[in-house]
Structure 1
Amino acid sequence: MASGAGEETGTGGVESTALGVVIEVPSPLRESLRAWRCTYGGEAAARVEPHITLVSGSTTDWDAAAAHVRAVAALAGPFRVCLQGTGTFRPVAPVVFLNVREGTEACTALHDSLLRGPLGHDLSHAYHPHLTIAHEVADALMDSAQEDLRDESMGFTVSSIGLFGIDEAGQWSLREELELGGAEK
């Protein structure tokens, strides 16, 4: 990114701002996942809270994008997610993740709805809901993560989604937490 606050100049000199919409994992599951991400992905991975990405990209109109995310959240209802077993995107991408076994359809529906309107963009790969454990680390660490966590299983209810942007320090920062089916938290 060009300027530390997540803004970059696109074509025609228009500034774009990084944006992400995610499902955050509640405590105490978040702490276990953070520890695994630290073990297998290093300190840098542990600094990013465990999450399931619904959409990420950039926008030249934050207000329109945020209004769209709010509208999508208001129309969606709470649902259950079960993370179970591991998967990988290797050799295409150096990633090991926990599979979303339950809630895949709801995640995909949210993803598809979010891509309609101001967040629409071409994807290089089909959307596959997952929770990253290790990314761009040595193959031995990725192999260990995939093997060690293959029998893990945990579930939680998704009742909100988070709208994130890049703050002045260049870090992902929660801008709004949106209750599914209605009100902001």
Structure 2
Amino acid sequence: MGTVTLGVSIAVPEPYGSLLQERRAGFGDPAAHGIPTHVTLLPPTQVEASRLPAVRAHLAEVAAACRAFPMRLSGTGTFRPLSPVVFVQVVEGASACSWLQQRVRDTSGPLVRELQFPYHPHVTVAHGISEEAMDRAYEELADFEASWTVGSFALYEQGADGVWRKLYAYEFGAGRATPAVPAQGSPVDEPATSRT
């Protein structure tokens, strides 16, 4: 069956998700329309396709143990010079995100992996573009603010075209996966294929 590239993240809801996606595209980031606006819980991870049922069951268990929590974004930050990234900061909800991502990667589950850098929840708005464009992203979104209540996370698969598509959403406390509901009304939210 081969491998699939999976990711787990918290979607940034509307109207903020589309707004930040459009701003990211406007800064010249070619990946903008292939990546729904999100806070990462599991970075791109290759998994045997045959392990998908185990992955889904594991994520349902993680979600069942979670409660809704407040999330607030405010201002910008950067990982430069270590990594060419400008992001919107998570100023409330970071500890809940850290707790979640640890459980997603739990050593008893199917998504065990080491991280390249220490976990730092954020919303990427520019990656790998010119220094001038990253400076512009950093400055123009410095006053950005958004807040909402997080009640779910989702499993995504990266297609051969590089586009990330939502496979399943996991509601907190529900203990089950629900079919993905389009978050930003774009092709990135269309299921890649049907899974059994």
* TM-score class normalised by the smaller sequence: 0.7 to 0.9
1:10 alignment counterpart: none
Which segments of 5 or more consecutive residues in structure 1 lack a partner in the other structure? 1-6, 8-14
Partner letter of residue 47 of structure 2?
Answer: T
1:23 alignment counterpart: 10
Matched, 1:59 2:51: no
1:158 alignment counterpart: 150
Which segments of 5 or more consecutive residues in structure 2 lack a partner in the other structure? 179-196
2:132 alignment counterpart: 140
1:114 alignment counterpart: 104
How many residues get paired? Answer: 172
Deviation at 1:40, TM superposition (A): 1.6
Deviations 1:146-175 (A, max 9, x none): 111112111111111111113465532111
Q: Is the 8 A contact 1:41 1:133 kept in 2?
A: no
Provide the rounded CA distance (Å) in 2 between the counterparts of 1:181 and 1:146. Answer: 36
Matched, 1:103 2:93: yes
Normalising to structure 1: TM-score of the pair? Answer: 0.86
Q: Decide whether aligned partners of structure 1 residues 184 and 63 sit closer, same or farther in structure 2, where only a CA change above 3 A counts.
A: closer
2:80 alignment counterpart: 90
Provide the rounded CA distance (Å) in 1 between the counterparts of 2:54 and 2:22. Answer: 36
Please, which moves more after superposition, 169-178 or 19-28? 169-178
Provide the rounded CA distance (Å) in 1 between the counterparts of 2:5 and 2:125. Answer: 22
Which of 49, 61, 64 matches 1:71?
61
Q: Is the 8 A contact 1:59 1:65 kept in 2?
A: no
Look up the SS of the partner of 1:66 in the other structure: helix
1:129 alignment counterpart: 121
Deviation at 1:16, TM superposition (A): 2.6
Provide the rounded CA distance (Å) in 2 between the counterparts of 1:66 and 1:149. Answer: 35
**Identity rate of aligned residues, in percent?**
38
Provide the rounded CA distance (Å) in 2 between the counterparts of 1:109 and 1:157. Answer: 16
Deviations 1:66-101 (A, max 9, x none): 211111011111111111111111111100000100
Q: Is the 8 A contact 1:41 1:135 kept in 2?
A: no
Provide the rounded CA distance (Å) in 2 between the counterparts of 1:153 and 1:50. Answer: 15
Deviation at 1:47, TM superposition (A): 3.3
